[in-house]
A and B are shown apart, each in its own frame.
Chain A
Amino acid sequence: MNMQQVVFPKSSANGFGRQRGDREVGARLENKMQLGKSNQGRIQTTGALAAGKTVGNESFSRDRLVYLTTCLIGHPVEVHVKSGSIYTGIFHATDAENDFGIILKMARLIKDGTLCGYKSTTEFVSKAPSKILIIPDKELVQIIAKDVAVTRDGFASDPQNEKYQEILIDSAISQSRHVEVERELEPWVPDEDDLQCPELENIFDGPWNRNWDQFETNQKLFGVKSTFNEELYTTKLERGPQTRELEKEAMRIAREIEGEDTQDLHLAEERGVDLHDDFDIDEEMRYSSVYRVRGVDDSGYEEDEDILLDSHNIETFGDSYDSLSRSADGVRMPSSSSLVDDAPSSQAAISEDLNCSRPNDQARQLASELPSKSFSVSASESRIRDKLLGEHGGSSDGNEFPEKQSVSEKPSSSGKLSEGPASSKATDEMHSASSHGPPDSSTSSNSDCVGTVSASGGFGLSPSSSMGSLSSEKSTLNPHAKEFKLNPNAKSFTPSQTPVRPLSPVSDGSFYYQTQMSPLPHMHMPVSFGIGPSFPGHQPVIFNPQVAPIQSPQAYFHPNGPQYGQQMVLGQRQVVYCQPEMQYKGRDY
């Protein structure tokens, strides 16, 4: 029989790959061995051996030997040598042509035969692994390999193992000595024929446009019956007589939206707006997910809520709102605090951050400076206002309230405080306002009360601003404002009626301090403000700066009465969400 030997690649430190490339495709071996699954499908032949040993048993056994040693490639083996030493390493190659010297990679000496066993194991000193270890045939005693995949079944299970092992983690790659040179990173450029991924456009064609139905294919190939119904996941388009008009309308709206001017880089890019080679905008700016605010010192997340609140405010306050809403960016706490100035001395004691000293007429100006964003501020402010409104009820001890309280946290806008006294006059407005919810009501009431109606209107809105500043992490608070002092003797606030709607669960952050309350003429507020009984589990809380975060306060405002509570809110720099629809049904004072 004509047999070709399958010979192991030459034992050479250059490795396997080179050898393979050199060999030609030989005749297939006869029944002794088959090479399967090999991409290259080559048989390494060695002329010498083939010539000499083609006969009978020896080649047979040699074949087997070669086969088995081939099976060992990449396998960890233990090699015993004549001296008694034992090496362990990865089997790399064997010199099949001559004798059978072998080559190990990453070999380590486990047992040193030269020590003759005299030294105890504890003293055995390890050696560095050698990258390549050649063990000549003369030294070789035996090779032991465990769990070698010998037959096809073994190989079949092997690839799976390999796949798992091949999951390289970054550190493995980076530390691997194979990578000697640091790669020069290049930005990816699409191939010439990519043409901006034309196939993407096809994907969103309707199924009737595609020539391939995935469900059908799946069924054919695997017999899987699909229960996919597109309409489960999307609104069904009613294609009726109105279709054409609806489509037109939709297109129009889409165009409008897409054509909008936007400051957002990402949106701009999506809409195809060229960024005019603004060199400030590098890749990071364009594609990073880190939102870096440019020139505005509030944190961006409030923006969305502002819009909501603003719209409410607009309804309530109309023009006065406008002036406010145009308020400047970035001027937050200081301006809001200045709004407080109007309030009488009762607020004076409040935190230093708020500048109480400004006259009322500046309030409007400041109010206008307040950024219209910052929902959170407005929420908190409205709370404050409402508190003030609610709690005042015309009692004369309202004055105590602001003075004794000490604000431990960042002061919130005291804008509302100034409104306190004002609100006493604004019964009517209160009514109307209350229907809109706390922020609105307090605002409207304020508009009457404090000397400058518009200012208070502004106040109403300024909550938004001050809220924004409050919730903003940046310290727009006036660091020089007086500290808020708690009045422990103030009357405890108890709402007499539950609000209609429970507040959204922003309980933790709903409080902020009015750090400085300018004295309000009619401030008779008890220091504490309670949490409405409507909340299950809430209890009326006497405001106490040492108390752990109070649950979300409900803005209470009495629609009828001249109640201006000074709302004390812990300035914990958290967002206060005011439910615009929350209605305070009245409180007896």
Chain B
Amino acid sequence: MEGEEFAVGCFLSIKTTLGDEFEGQIISFDRLSNILVLQEGLESGPRRNIWLLKANYIKEFSLLRQDEDPLDVKKCFLDLTSLQAREDSAIRQAEADSERFGVGVTSEAQTLFDALSKTLPVRWDKTVIVVMNEVRVSSPYLPESVSGGTPAANERVRKVLEFERKRMQTRGTSQ
């Protein structure tokens, strides 16, 4: 650390070496680990955006003003059990969600998968999107890449795929 003291409550504008820029209020600065704990924005509400930043990645900063301690110590409680429960449920949720994300697929493929999953039961099989357990869409996920299933199902998946691609295109161009 460059020897600067970060006082609690200071409102800083910070630029990191990674290119991030933000403003926040210091909650704490731990010299030992060199971590600056910031609260983004001004809200003193119960829920805040917290930023833990390694101070050595601060490219530059400027002190905007000095405010009071954003953390009201009297209100600080920790319920370990509920934290643990929260973690468990988050993990469960994430596990369920992980089914939805393809591994080794491009984000475009993922977008298509998500779009298909809105109306059809889909799952990943390596890099192949499997629809209704019978129709398979492999890379490059064009309408031509749709194979399998009954003709009706195949047709349907094709149509949805085409539609989605069109939407993606218009969205891309409009932005």
Residues on A facing B (Cβ under 8 Å) = 6, 16-17, 20, 31-40, 42, 53, 57-58, 60-62, 64-65, 67-76, 80, 84, 89-92, 99-100, 105-106, 108, 121-129, 137, 140-159, 162, 165-166, 168, 172, 175-178
Contact = CB atoms under 8 A, between A and B. Distances in A.
B28 to A, nearest CB: 3
Nearest to B38: A142
Given A150-B39, A153-B75, A155-B46, 16 more contacts: A31-B73, A33-B73, A34-B76, A40-B80, A40-B81, A53-B32, A74-B90, A127-B103, A128-B103, A142-B51, A145-B52, A147-B48, A151-B76, A152-B77, A155-B79, A159-B82
B10 to A, nearest CB: 13
Interface string B69-112: 00111111111111111111111111110110111111110100
In the complex, the 10 A-B pairs of residues with the closest C-beta atoms, listed nearest first: A74-B87, A154-B46, A64-B28, A74-B86, A153-B46, A106-B94, A151-B75, A143-B52, A36-B77, A100-B33
Given A36-B79, A65-B30, A75-B86, A141 B54 contact: yes
Contact of A122 (B47, B88, B92, B107): B107
Contacts of A75: 86, 90
Contacts of A35: 77-80
Contacts of B101: 108, 126, 129
Given A33-B76, A151-B46, A165-B93, A125 B106 contact: yes
B171 to A, nearest CB: 13
Nearest to B6: A61
B131 interface: no
B62 interface: no
A420 B150 CA distance: 57
B18 interface: yes
Contacts, number: 230
Nearest to B85: A162
Contact of A73 (B31, B83, B96): B83
Nearest to A95: B33
Nearest to B92: A176
Size class of B's contact patch? 35 or more
User: Which of A69, A121, A146, A150: most chain B CB closer than 10 A?
Assistant: A150
B48 A162 contact: no
A80 B52 CA distance: 10
Which of A17, A20, A37, A61 gathers the greatest number of chain B CB atoms within 10 Å?
Answer: A61
A429 B72 CA distance: 98
Interface in B102-153: 102-108, 110
Interface in B6-35: 8, 16-18, 20, 27-33, 35
A49 B90 CA distance: 30
Nearest to A39: B81
Given A129-B101, A137-B33, A143 B91 contact: no
A141 B90 contact: no
Interface of B: 8, 16-18, 20, 27-33, 35, 37, 39, 45-54, 57, 71-96, 98-99, 101-108, 110
Nearest to B99: A175
A536 B83 CA distance: 69
Contacts of B103: 126-128
A61 B47 CA distance: 20
Contacts of B30: 58, 61-62, 64-65, 100
Nearest to B102: A126
Nearest to B72: A151
B84 A166 contact: no
Contacts of B78: 6, 33, 35-36, 38, 67, 70-71
B84 A17 contact: yes
A141 B77 CA distance: 27
Nearest to B110: A126
B81 to A, nearest CB: 5
A162 B31 contact: no
A64 B86 contact: no
Contacts of B53: 141-143
Nearest to B49: A146
A145 B86 CA distance: 15
Contacts of B83: 70-71, 73-74
Given A65-B28, A100-B35, A147 B82 contact: no
A124 B20 CA distance: 21
A173 to B, nearest CB: 9
Given A16-B84, A142-B16, A159-B82, A147 B49 contact: yes
A142 B88 CA distance: 24
B111 to A, nearest CB: 9
A145 B82 contact: no
Nearest to B39: A150
A125 B106 CA distance: 4
21 contacts: A42-B80, A57-B31, A74-B87, A84-B18, A90-B90, A105-B91, A106-B94, A129-B94, A141-B16, A141-B18, A141-B53, A142-B20, A144-B51, A146-B49, A147-B47, A148-B49, A150-B39, A151-B46, A153-B75, A156-B46, A158-B86
A64 B37 contact: yes
A177 B92 CA distance: 8
Nearest to A36: B77
B75 A73 contact: no
A37 B106 contact: no
A393 B109 CA distance: 80
A9 to B, nearest CB: 9
A61 B57 contact: no
A64 B71 contact: yes
